[in-house]
């Protein structure tokens, strides 16, 4: 993915992690390397000359990662997300598995580490935190013009990230039981020593000094383990927002990308206008993220402007008002508003999963629904 900010619009792209499951039992299957090999061996060029979306392995063998190319608009992004999911589904089918856009496995599983030197080091260093870490997220990259602009964005989007988790929450089940959380993935992911919201940095130099100090502490094995909720990408000129669960519905993924891009544009414009970032404390941001993880859209969230409890829909209205000018400028306002309306009518992924379980009392049925929905939604 080679993303950069264009003169007329900011480019963006999405990485999605998907579960690999048995198509009958729904139990996660440790076949990621076989899926990637199958995809590469059976690569077929489409009639328009375009090649299939790339697939890659992840920390555990029961998951796979898809990556879109650089995109300029929502239609283009939606097409590539669907294409990537379809490529993953076909490759998984080739080795007797299926893919499911679930942020945690509803069925009990003992994950198996992908055999790489780096992942073995992580297992040795972090024990159960690494070994039990079978979670699937959605990462949105948005192009920035410089590290200073990127850090200015990071400083200014902090209060607005928790609503993204509430909207995308898609992981209520863990080891066969309902956790009571809409995003249990956020709780499991939070075990890593470097996750969560950050303090204000103020400059790219200060950001770099923070990363160096974290590495000097010896608590991280490498810079790739800087797992902030939002960070500068090490490989691309982008900011990378890592808050959302992988979304069950393609439309929800597109909504995440639209909101994140507008968030970056709004923050960068505020920086250029000389508007300072909100000095909200990091511990309060952590509480807001916990609230979003716990109840998703079902109860109150923490309002980004007041820091007080407020109904989820009131928080989402504030989010749309905050991002409205940037969404409108990009031509995304109508689409984003429609996608948000549909999400609220249907419920986030956690609500959809629970509805299936309520009807069937069977977590296998939850996985089966997700498998069908992963490649036909949106």
Q: What is the pLDDT of residues 70-125, one digit of tens each?
A: 999 999 999 999 999 999 999 999 999 999 999 999 999 999 999 999 999 999 99
How far apart CA 289 and CA 165 sit, in angstroms, is 7
Q: What is the pLDDT of residues 285-317, one digit of tens each?
A: 999 999 999 999 999 999 999 999 999 999 999
Q: What is the pLDDT of residues 52-67, one digit of tens each?
A: 678 999 999 999 999 9
Query: 297, 344 in Cβ contact below 8 A?
Result: yes
Residues 6+ apart with CB under 8 A from 212: none
* Contact criterion met (CB below 8 Å) for 105 and 173: yes
**Cα 137 to Cα 150: distance, rounded to the nearest angstrom:** 22
Is the model's pLDDT at 9 over the cut of 80? no
Give the confidence band of 378 by pLDDT, cuts at 50, 70, 90. low
pLDDT over 80 at 203, yes or no: yes
pTM for the whole structure: 0.95
| Beta strands at 138-143 and 63-67: parallel, antiparallel or unpaired | unpaired
- Region 338-355 average pLDDT: 98
Per DSSP, helices labelled H in 135-249 are 147-157, 162-168, 184-189, 204-216
Residue 43 DSSP class:
-
- Taking alpha carbons only, the member of 143, 197, 167, 204 closest to residue 298 is 167
Matching CATH number, 110-376, of 3.30.1300.10, 4.10.640.10, 3.20.20.140, 3.30.590.20 = 3.30.590.20
CA atoms within 13 A on the CB side of 267: 28
Q: CA 218 to CA 240: how far, in whole Å?
A: 24
Asked if 144 and 237 touch (Cβ cutoff 8 Å), the reply is yes
- CA-to-CA separations, 303 to 158, 176, 372, in angstroms, rounded: 12, 33, 35
Domain range annotation of the chain:
110-376
Please compute, for residue 232, the number of CA atoms within 13 A of its CA located in the half-sphere on the CB side. Answer: 23
Tokens of 183: 């995003």
Helix, strand, coil percent content, the chain, rounded in steps of 5:
50, 15, 35
- Measured CA to CA, the distance from residue 188 to residue 334 in angstroms comes to 35
Determine how β-strand 98-100 pairs with β-strand 138-143.
unpaired
Nearest alpha-carbon partner for 167 in 41, 320, 340: 340
Alpha-carbon distance of 248 to 65, in angstroms, equals 15
- ∠ CA(67), CA(68), CA(72), 5° rounding? 150
């Amino acid at each position: 993915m080679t993303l950069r900010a264009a003169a007329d619009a900011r480019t963006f792209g999405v990485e999605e992690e998907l579960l690999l499951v048995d198509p009958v039992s729904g139990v996660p299957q440790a076949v990621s390397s076989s899926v990637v090999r199958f995809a590469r061996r059976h690569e077929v060029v489409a009639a328009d000359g375009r090649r299939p979306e790339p697939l890659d392995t992840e920390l555990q063998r029961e998951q796979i990662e898809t990556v879109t190319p650089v995109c300029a608009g929502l239609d283009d992004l939606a097409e590539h997300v669907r294409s990537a999911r379809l490529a993953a589904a076909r490759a998984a089918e080739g080795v007797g598995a299926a893919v499911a856009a679930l942020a945690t496995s509803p069925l009990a599983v003992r994950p198996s580490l992908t055999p790489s030197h780096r992942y073995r080091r992580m297992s040795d260093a972090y024990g159960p935190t690494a070994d039990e870490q079978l979670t699937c997220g959605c990462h949105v990259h948005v192009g920035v013009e410089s590290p200073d602009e990127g850090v200015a964005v990071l400083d200014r989007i902090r209060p607005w990230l928790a609503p993204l988790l509430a909207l995308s929450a898609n992981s209520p089940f863990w080891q066969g039981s309902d956790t009571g959380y809409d995003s249990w993935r956020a709780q499991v992911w939070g075990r890593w020593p470097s996750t969560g919201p950050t303090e204000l940095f103020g400059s790219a130099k200060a950001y770099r000094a923070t990363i160096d100090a974290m590495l000097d502490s010896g608590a991280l094995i490498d810079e790739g383990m800087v797992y902030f909720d939002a960070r500068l990408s090490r490989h691309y000129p982008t900011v990378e927002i890592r808050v959302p669960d992988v979304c069950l519905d393609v439309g929800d993924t597109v909504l995440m990308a639209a909101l994140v891009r507008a968030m970056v544009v709004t923050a960068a414009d505020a920086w250029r206008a000389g508007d300072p970032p909100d000095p909200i404390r990091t511990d309060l941001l952590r509480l807001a993220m916990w609230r979003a993880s716990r109840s998703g859209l079902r109860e109150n969230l923490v309002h980004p402007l007041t820091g007080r409890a407020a109904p989820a829909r009131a928080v989402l209205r504030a989010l749309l008002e905050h991002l409205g000018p940037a969404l409108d400028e990009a031509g995304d306002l109508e689409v984003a508003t429609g996608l948000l309306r549909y999400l609220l009518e249907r419920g986030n992924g956690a609500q959809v999963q629970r509805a299936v379980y309520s009807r069937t009392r069977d977590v296998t049925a939850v996985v089966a629904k997700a498998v069908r929905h992963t490649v036909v939604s949106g």
